[in-house]
Structure 1
Amino acid sequence: MDIISALQIAIAQLIGPSAIFYALLAIGLNLHFGYAGLLNFGQIAFALLGGYGVGIMAVNYDQPLWLGAIIGIAAAGMLAVVLGLPTLRLRADYLAIVTIAASEILRLVFRSTSTDDFTHSTNGIYAYAGSFFSISPFDNGKQYSFFGVKFLGGDLWSMVVGWIVVGLLCLMVYLLVRSPWGRVLKAVREDEDAARSLGKNAYFFKMQALVLGGCIGGLAGVFNAFATQSINPDFYSTAQTFFAYGALILGGAATVFGPVLGAMLFWFLLAVPDALLRQATSGDDPLLNLSAQQVGAFRYVLLGLAIILMMVFRPQGLLGNKREVQLDA
């Protein structure tokens, strides 16, 4: 087996557009779960609205991409308000139930044939981000190689923009959580009654965190819509939210860079066994007798084992602090 080739493929995934998408999802979840103690199991719903905001405005109404991005992020923020109003005064599990239900409802509505004229249902929306790639300094169809790691020009441009956005969001989170607002938010997470006794409006702070994290989730959807030029409702399944949680667990909740490191590690751990197993099952005399579907499933088994081991031996994640991950449910 060619281990060097497998590592090159894995490094491409480590810093590629998919890692950026999950890093953005996990940064939003980190504000919810890590800093505010909110159980949001529907983060992908915010990404769905962000992505469809771009696609619908560009294709249906021939509007510029930046306007679609603003509308998509605003729609994600409004969804957070709608979900938070009836649930944030109740126990944490109510928000979890409502968010996971809302994400599935939105996905099914957007894939329904009754909304085909608006959302294009299961056909999806494609090829609308030409203006984004037109300003790229790279040749979109050309393949670039860096120490054997290969990227298409379009992906390289998406990565440059995406990592800049991730860096700016990390800076924003760093400043927020070290501000008086962030200290109150962590106080609400650790002991809501104590925060209330000091005159802090816990409901108001939790709503702000929910909206801000939801808008970041919407931004993740916007980025994915730009990078892939493809929006399909079946992509926005509940599993994507739990992948983002997996990234957050690996990197460490309630840390600034934990979600980013976790997303990179998540895709690296998926890509390495995938590349090695596909090499082992190819050729005239394969080492393993596994189908392509079995290889795809087995890599998730290995990733799941890695997350379980992380939860057992380092539950706070690679960058986390045990005191920061206690959740008062």
Structure 2
Amino acid sequence: MNGILDLLIQMVAVAISPATAAFVIAAIGLNIHFGYTGLFNMGQAGFMLLGAYGFAIPITSGLGFWPSLGIAILSAVAFGALLGIPTLKLRGDYLAIVTISAAEIVRMVGRSSILDPITGGSNGLAGARYRDPFTDLSFFGDGQTTFLWFSYDNTGVNGWWMRFVAWALVAVLCVLVWLLVRSPWGRVLKGIREDDVAVRSLGKSSYAYKMQALILGGVIGALAGVIYVLPSSVQPDSMGRSTTFFLWTALLLGGAATLFGPVLGAVLFFAVRIFVQGVTALVVPRSVMSLQQTEQFSWILVGIALMLLVIFRPQGIMGDKKELSFGV
């Protein structure tokens, strides 16, 4: 019984962690791309990594928190425009090819030994080099606070201040998306997703709207990258192709084109994986499956669950099949 209780506590701890919040934020950006506009962005991790570098490098060079955050946002805007200009007038699959390639270029450039003095190369940038300006903004004070079963520093590397900011940003972005999709701009995006030609026949520039959606979702992805690296470090390989695939899994799990689908999907994605890994470790003897193998087994089950989801409920948990289904 204690083992199950500890597992449930661990699941909740993972669910409220800043890393989970970062994935929620990145999935919200991806939802604007795919869920509302129909853009197949397969390189959201590239926006995250670019935002992380755009934030961390200026601070390590002596710039303040807010100017560095502005540079991270501008980097995502430039990256989105660079990707969108040659591809958004073509079929959607071209965007998928370009974005996954561009994200890999960002990762490989970041880990290049030539840029080691700037990006830290394959070792990345330690969080201690850029985290202080963020923690200095905290009004939570020093010390430690315990809430239910969770004890964290008020203002620490991975404390309550970090969690508060991360999930507050999730709430703000959910409200922003809710307002946008109910506006004329959001209705045009849905029209583009359903029938691009019909929207153009009404005198709307689908290219301009697609570019705006790509940049907006990319900026949200960059903010996710900042949240993701604040409690840890900037590691280029931690935001590679697998990160984008995890984001797609979370989005499809919760339901694309829904307000809370990215939130539910990302939380379930991490919590269920911890549950599978924990139950496997409790049930299966260590002589049969080691802890490392239980982790690998949990990823296998997540992959199988995604395949079953796409086959039997393509609209996701919260999605409406009439609104959008994967592959339409």
Q: TM-score range by the shorter chain?
A: over 0.9
- Decide whether the 8 Å contact of 2:83 with 2:98 is kept in 1: yes
- Decide whether the 8 Å contact of 1:10 with 1:271 is kept in 2: yes
1:126-145 equivalences in 2 (<5 Å): 126=126, 127=128, 128-138=130-140, 142=144, 144-145=145-146
Aligned-residue CA RMSD (Å): 1.9
Which of 242, 267, 273 lines up with 1:239 in the alignment?
242
- Which position in structure 1 is the counterpart of 2:180? 176
Q: Offset at 1:225?
A: 2.4
- Which position in structure 2 is the counterpart of 1:267? 270
5+ residue gaps, structure 1, are none
Q: Secondary structure at the match of 2:306?
A: helix
- Which position in structure 1 is the counterpart of 2:208? 204
- Decide whether the 8 Å contact of 1:174 with 1:256 is kept in 2: yes
Q: Offset at 1:305?
A: 2.6
- Decide whether the 8 Å contact of 1:34 with 1:324 is kept in 2: no
How far does the alpha carbon of each residue in 1:208-256 deviate from its partner, in whole angstroms, 9 at most, with x for none? 100000000011011112232x111111111101101111011100011
Counterparts of 2:21 and 2:142, CA distance in 1: 19
- Which position in structure 1 is the counterpart of 2:102? 102
**1:86 partnered with 2:86:** yes
Q: Offset at 1:150?
A: 4.6
Q: Which moved more, 1:312-321 or 1:93-102?
A: 312-321
Question: CA separation of 1:313/1:149 partners in 2, compared to 1, >3 Å: closer, same or farther?
Answer: farther
Counterparts of 1:192 and 1:57, CA distance in 2: 40
Structure 2-normalised TM-score? 0.93
Counterparts of 1:42 and 1:74, CA distance in 2: 17
Question: CA separation of 1:328/1:270 partners in 2, compared to 1, >3 Å: closer, same or farther?
Answer: closer
Identity %: 46
**1:74 partnered with 2:74:** yes
- Which position in structure 1 is the counterpart of 2:30? 29
Aligned length: 322
Question: CA separation of 1:231/1:141 partners in 2, compared to 1, >3 Å: closer, same or farther?
Answer: farther
Residue identity opposite 2:89 in structure 1: R
Q: Offset at 1:25?
A: 0.8
Residue identity opposite 1:22 in structure 2: F
Counterparts of 1:150 and 1:313, CA distance in 2: 40
Q: Offset at 1:151?
A: 4.1
Q: Offset at 1:8?
A: 0.5
- Which position in structure 2 is the counterpart of 1:310? 309
- Decide whether the 8 Å contact of 2:19 with 2:227 is kept in 1: no
Q: Secondary structure at the match of 1:160?
A: helix
**1:50 partnered with 2:54:** no
